[in-house]
Structure 1
Amino acid sequence: MADIEKKGRAANDVAYQLESLGPREKAERIAASFVPPTPEEERKVIRKLDRRLLPLVFILYSLSVLDRSNLGNARLAGLTKSIDLGGNRYSWLGTIFYISYILFQWTQMGWKQFPAHVWCAAVVMIWGFIATIQAATTSWGGLMTCRFFLAIAEAAFGPGVPLYLSYFYPREMVGFRHGVFISGAAMANAYGGALAYGITQIKGSVKPWQILFIIEGIPTCIFAVFAFYLLPDGITSAKFLTERDKQIALHFVARNQRLDVGKQQGLRFKEMLEGFKDPKSWIPGFCYFGCNVSYASLPLFVPTIISEMGTWSAAQSNGLSAPPYLLCFFYIITVCWLSDRFKMRGPFCALSATIGAIGFIIQATATTSGVRYFAIFLSVQIFASVALLLAWTANIHATESKRAGGYVVLATVGQCGPLLGTNVFPDSEKPYFRKGMWISASFCLLVAVLSGVLSLWLIYENKKMAREGVPEVEEFEDTSIARETGVNERHRYIW
C-alpha cells in the first residue's frame, strides 16, 4: 500500500512539473520518471474503464439498433394496415435509411473533432426524438423522411464508438470491448422481438405499431442525458481516474500505437488521409460489405421469414425472432474474448462467416419449418465478424487520426452492403426466399476468404518487419515519445 501511495504522489509531482514543457521534452520527462505499473495495477485501471464505458456504449448501441430495426416488428404489429406499404415501399424504407447512413458516414469523425460527451449526447438525443415521432406519421412519405434523418444521427454515433474505445484500451484488448459494444445489436434484436410480441397484445385507441415506436424511442432520449454526464472525452480528462491511473492508462494504450496526448480533440488530416490511402483499410471494408449484405436485412425480415414458414402466427413470429439473437449475443462475447486471448482476428472472423454461410445454405435448401428455424441460429452468427472487423481496423492503424480514416473507409464501404441486403428478400420469393439465402451465403463465404487473405498479408508484413529489426513490442520509453512526436509509427500487426 505504501508503494502505491508513493507512486501516486510521484505521478502528481510529475504532472505539475510537466505543464511548462514542450511536447517532446514532456514525453521524454515522462519516460524518465514514470514507474512502470504492475500487472495488477493495469488490471485495476482496465476494470475502472470497463465499469464506466462498456455498460453505457452497450446500452446506447442496443437502443440504436432497436430504433432502426423495429420496422420489421412494426410491420407485423399492424403498420401496413395504417400506411400503404405495398409494392416496393417497405423495401424502400430500409433502403433510404442506408442511403442516408452511407452518405453521412463521415460524421463519425465528430468523435475525434469534438468533446466526446457533447457529441454523443447530441446525436443520441436527435435520433431518439426522430425514432419517437415515427409514431405520428400518417403516410409513406412521412415515414421515409423520418428514416432518412434517423440514419444521419445514427451514422454520427455507432460507427465512431470503436474509434472512441480505442483511445482507452491496449490494442490487444479492444476486441473484447468492441465485442461487448457490438453485442448490443444482438441483444436489441433479441429483446426487440420479445418486446414487440408483448406490445402487440395491447388493445387500446393507440395502435400497437405506434406504441412500439414510442416505447422504444423515449428511453433513447433519457440515456442521452446519462451520456452527457458520464462519458469521458479521453484518458487525461477522465474524472474517475486518479493521476496514477491516467499515467498507467496512457502507458498501456501507448504500447505499439500512438496517442494524441494534449490534443484529444482535433483531427490530424495528413494521418487521416493515410488511413484512406492504405490498402489494408479497404479489405476490412469489403469484408464489412459482405457481412452487411448477409446480416443487415435479417432484423427487417427474420420475423417475416419465420411467419412464412406457416407454423406460427405473426405475433408468435415476433417472439420467436428473439432466441437466435440471444445466442448471437453470447457467441460474440465468447469469440471476441478468444480473439484477444490468442491475439488473432482473421481466423475467428473467417470462422464466424463460415458458420453464417452454413445457416443460409440450410435455409436455401430445407423445407421443414424446424430445420429452417434452427438455421437462423447459425445465420445470425455472421454478425460476430463485424465485431472482429472493428477491432482489426483499430489494430492495423497505429495513430488515432489514421484509425479515424480507416474507420470511415470501413463504414462507408461496408454500409453499402445493406443497399443490396435489404432487397434480397422480396415478397415474390415467399415462402422460402431461396434467392436471398443463396446471395447471403455467398457473401458470408466472401468474408471468410478475404479474412484469410488479409491475415496472410499481415503475417508477411510482420516477418518483413522482424527482418528489419522492428520490435514485436515497443515499451513505454519508445511509445511515450512516439505518441507526441510521430516517432516509431511502424508496429507489428495483429492478424
Structure 2
Amino acid sequence: MTSLLFQPTEAAYSTSSNTPIQYTPVSDRSEDESGPPIRPPLGSLTVKTQFNADGDDCDDGYESYEDAEEKPNSASTEFPKYTAIEEKQIVKRFDRCLVSFLALLYLLSFLDRSNIGNAKIAGMADDLHLSSSQYEWLLTAFYITYILFEWMTLMYRLVPPHIYISLCVCGWGLVACFQSLATSFETLVLLRALLGVAEAAFGPGVPFYLSLFYKREELAFRNGLFISAAPLASSFASSLAWVIVKMSGNGPIAPWRTLFLVEGFPSVIVAVFAWILIPDSPGSAWFLGPRQRMVAEMRMEESKPAHHEPRRGKFNWKEVRNTLVDPKSYLAAFMFFSCNVAFSSMPVFLPTIITDMGYSSVTSQALSAPPFLFAFVVVLITAYISDRNRKRSPYLIMHALISSASYLIIALSGYFHTHLPTTAHTLIRYLCVYPATAGFFSAITLIMTWTMDNRVAKEGKGASIAIMNIIGQCGPLLGTRLYPSVDRPWYIRGMATCSFFMAVVAVLAFVLRVILLRARRTIEQKGDEMEMERAGGGEESEVLMGGRNGRRHVEEKFTYII
C-alpha cells in the first residue's frame, strides 16, 4: 500500500505560515491499479503545517471539541492526548474557581440556617416570648421542608446549574433577611419552613454536581472543602454574633434582628455572581481555555464506562431504578440519618449549652467559635488523607467512635457532676465538644462521598444522594429536640443520644465495609471465569460492568472504594 499525494489548490497555500500544506491521505489502492486517483473520504486527510527536524510526522494538532462530540464512538487515536501536568492544572483551576465558590455559598447557607442559635441567646426568645417547645419547632420546621424537597437534587440534571444555583441562593438570602422582620412565632416558623425549601434545593445536590467535575479518587477532598464550610460558618456565626451583640446592644434595632439582616443580605448579592461564575459542565467552565475545557471533558469520560451513559440529552431511568433496589444505598442513608442527629443539634444548641455552663451570653458567643474552627481543620485533613489512600470506611469508623466517646464523656460528667469540682466538669464538657464536633462533621463528609463512590452513571449518583437525604434528613427531626430546657444545664439525655447514634454510624460503616469486601472475594473466586484482572490492591474490589442475558460479556471494569 502506498500513500497518494494530492496537489493542493492555490487556496491551500494561503496560510500565515511559510510552510506549505501537504495532504497525506491513507489509501487502500495498490500501485498497479489504474484509473484516476479517487479523493479519499472526509476524515482521512490530515493537514500538516509543521514537521520536526527529522522529517517524522509531528501531529500535535487538536480536533475541535464540537468534532469530538459528534464522533463519540471514534477510535481513541482521533482524540487529542493530554498530560498529567495538564490534568493537574485543570484540577487546581476547579479547586480555586469552582469548589471555593461553592464552599462560600454553603457557608452562607449554613450561616443562615444555624444563626438562630445565636439569635436565641441574643434576645430573640425574650422578644418573641418563645417557649422551649416553640424554639424546637422553629428548628424542626426547617427540616420538615428540607426533607420534603430533597427530590430537587435531581434538578441539577434537568436545569442548567448556573440558573438553578443562583435562584436557590437568592431565595434563601431573601428569606433569611425577612426573619429580621418577624414579630411572632407563627411568622418566624413560616419563614424557617421557606428557608428549608430554598436550602434543600441547593446543598444536598452539590456533591453530585461536583462529581461531574472530579474523578472518584479526587472527590472526598473536594467534598471536604465544601462541607468544611459548615463548621467554618458556625465558627464565623459565633464570632460575628459576638461582634453584633457588643456593637448593637444599645442600638435602635434589637441585636438578634441585626444578626439576621447582616448575615442574610450577602447571599442576595452573591446570587448575582453565582449566575455568572457557575459553569454548567467541565466543557463550559469560563476559567478554562479551549484546550483545557476539552481535556476536562475527556478526563471525566475516560474515568467511567461509557456504556452506562445514555445518549446525550437522555435521562437514564434504569440507573435510578438500580439505585433504588440496592441495599448499599440504604445503609449509607441510615448512616447519614444517625450522623445527622448530632450534625443538626450541636451547631444550633452549642451557644445555649455553653451559657448553661455558667458563662455570659457574650462570652458564650465567643466560646462557640473555636470547636467549629477545629472541626474545619480536621475535616480537610481527613478528606485529603482519605482521597490519597482511596479509603473511606477506616476514617469514617474512627471519627464516629471518637465522636461517640466524646458525647458519652460529656453525658457522664454531667451525670456524676456532684463528684467533680465545678471547674473540672465544666472544662471536661467544653473540651469534649471539640472531638465531638470534628467527628460528626468528618463523618458527614465521608458518608456523602462514599455514597457516590460506587455509582457510575450521573443519574445513579443523583439518585443515591436523593435517597441518602430523604432518609438521612429525618435525623434532624430528632436532633432538634434533644436539648429541651427541662434538661438544663447538663443535657445528659441529649448527649447520650448523640453518643448512641454516632456509635450506630460506626456499626453501619463496618457492615457496608464487610459487604464490599465479600464482593471482592466473590469476584476473585470467579476471576478466571469472568476474564478479569486485578487492577489495584489494598481495599478495592473489582467488578465487571456489563453482561447480558447470562452470557459472559466483559465490557468495562469498575472498582469499589472501601
Q: Does 1:289 align with 2:334?
A: no
Q: CA RMSD of the aligned region, Å?
A: 2.4
- Matching residue of 1:244: 291
- The CA deviation at 1:16 is 4.8
Q: Does 1:230 align with 2:263?
A: no
Classify 1:377/1:416 alpha carbon distance in 2 versus 1 (closer, same or farther; 3 Å). Answer: same
- The CA deviation at 1:240 is 2.5
The amino acid of 1:234's aligned partner reads S
Aligned to 1:211, the other structure's residue is in SS state helix
Trace 1:177-216 onto structure 2 (pairs within 5 A): 177-201=222-246, 202=248, 203-216=250-263
- Matching residue of 2:406: 359
How far apart are the structure 2 equivalents of 1:8 and 1:141? 70
The amino acid of 1:294's aligned partner reads A
Determine which of 461, 464, 471 is the counterpart of 1:406.
464
Q: Deviations over 1:129-151 (max 9, x none)?
A: 00010000100000010010100
The amino acid of 2:478's aligned partner reads L
- Matching residue of 1:106: 151
Determine which of 386, 401, 404 is the counterpart of 2:444.
386
Preserved contact between residue 280 and residue 396 of structure 1 (Cα < 8 Å): no
Preserved contact between residue 284 and residue 410 of structure 1 (Cα < 8 Å): yes
Trace 1:55-74 onto structure 2 (pairs within 5 A): 55-74=100-119
- The CA deviation at 1:387 is 0.6
Preserved contact between residue 309 and residue 316 of structure 2 (Cα < 8 Å): no
Larger Rg: 2
Q: Which moved more, 1:409-418 or 1:358-367?
A: 358-367
- The CA deviation at 1:236 is 1.8
How far apart are the structure 2 equivalents of 1:322 and 1:104? 31
How far apart are the structure 2 equivalents of 1:28 and 1:143? 56
How far apart are the structure 2 equivalents of 1:88 and 1:265? 49
Q: Deviations over 1:154-176 (max 9, x none)?
A: 00000000000000011111000
- The CA deviation at 1:270 is 2.4
Q: Deviations over 1:95-138 (max 9, x none)?
A: 11111111110012111111000000001100100001000010
Preserved contact between residue 234 and residue 264 of structure 1 (Cα < 8 Å): no
The higher relative CO (CA closer than 8 Å, separation ≥ 6) is in: 1
- Matching residue of 2:385: 338
- Matching residue of 1:308: 356
Calculate the TM-score normalised by the size of structure 2. Answer: 0.81
Q: Which moved more, 1:197-206 or 1:138-147?
A: 197-206
Classify 1:225/1:494 alpha carbon distance in 2 versus 1 (closer, same or farther; 3 Å). Answer: same
How far apart are the structure 2 equivalents of 1:178 and 1:284? 16
How far apart are the structure 1 equivalents of 2:521 and 2:76? 29
Q: Does 1:15 align with 2:73?
A: no
Aligned to 1:46, the other structure's residue is in SS state helix
Preserved contact between residue 309 and residue 457 of structure 2 (Cα < 8 Å): no
Preserved contact between residue 256 and residue 398 of structure 1 (Cα < 8 Å): no
How far apart are the structure 2 equivalents of 1:393 and 1:444? 18
Preserved contact between residue 183 and residue 332 of structure 1 (Cα < 8 Å): yes
Preserved contact between residue 245 and residue 362 of structure 2 (Cα < 8 Å): yes
Give the % identical residues. Answer: 35
- Matching residue of 1:122: 167
Aligned to 2:561, the other structure's residue is in SS state coil
Preserved contact between residue 123 and residue 154 of structure 1 (Cα < 8 Å): yes
Preserved contact between residue 14 and residue 30 of structure 1 (Cα < 8 Å): no
Q: Does 1:317 align with 2:364?
A: yes
How far apart are the structure 2 equivalents of 1:249 and 1:234? 9
- The CA deviation at 1:10 is 2.9
Determine which of 426, 431, 442 is the counterpart of 1:374.
431
- Matching residue of 1:423: 481
- The CA deviation at 1:355 is 1.4
- The CA deviation at 1:7 is 9.9
Q: Deviations over 1:263-298 (max 9, x none)?
A: 776642222222222111111111111110122111
How far apart are the structure 1 equivalents of 2:560 and 2:498? 30
- The CA deviation at 1:58 is 0.6
How far apart are the structure 2 equivalents of 1:179 and 1:295? 15
Preserved contact between residue 239 and residue 366 of structure 2 (Cα < 8 Å): yes
Q: Which moved more, 1:34-43 or 1:300-309?
A: 34-43
Classify 1:86/1:265 alpha carbon distance in 2 versus 1 (closer, same or farther; 3 Å). Answer: farther
The amino acid of 1:233's aligned partner reads D
Q: Which moved more, 1:26-35 or 1:334-343?
A: 26-35
How far apart are the structure 2 equivalents of 1:8 and 1:362? 67
Preserved contact between residue 310 and residue 316 of structure 2 (Cα < 8 Å): no
Higher strand share: 2
Higher helix share: 1
How far apart are the structure 1 equivalents of 2:312 and 2:207? 16
Determine which of 141, 154, 167 is the counterpart of 1:96.
141
How far apart are the structure 1 equivalents of 2:133 and 2:239? 27
The amino acid of 1:461's aligned partner reads A
How far apart are the structure 2 equivalents of 1:352 and 1:340? 16
How far apart are the structure 2 equivalents of 1:181 and 1:104? 21
- The CA deviation at 1:424 is 1.2
Q: Which moved more, 1:453-462 or 1:400-409?
A: 453-462
How far apart are the structure 1 equivalents of 2:468 and 2:210? 16
**Where do 5+ consecutive residues of structure 1 fail to align?**
475-480
**Where do 5+ consecutive residues of structure 2 fail to align?**
1-49, 52-56, 418-424, 537-544, 547-552
The amino acid of 1:332's aligned partner reads V
How far apart are the structure 1 equivalents of 2:132 and 2:386? 44
Determine which of 77, 80, 94 is the counterpart of 1:49.
94
Classify 1:359/1:230 alpha carbon distance in 2 versus 1 (closer, same or farther; 3 Å). Answer: same
- The CA deviation at 1:37 is 2.6
Calculate the TM-score normalised by the size of structure 1. Answer: 0.91
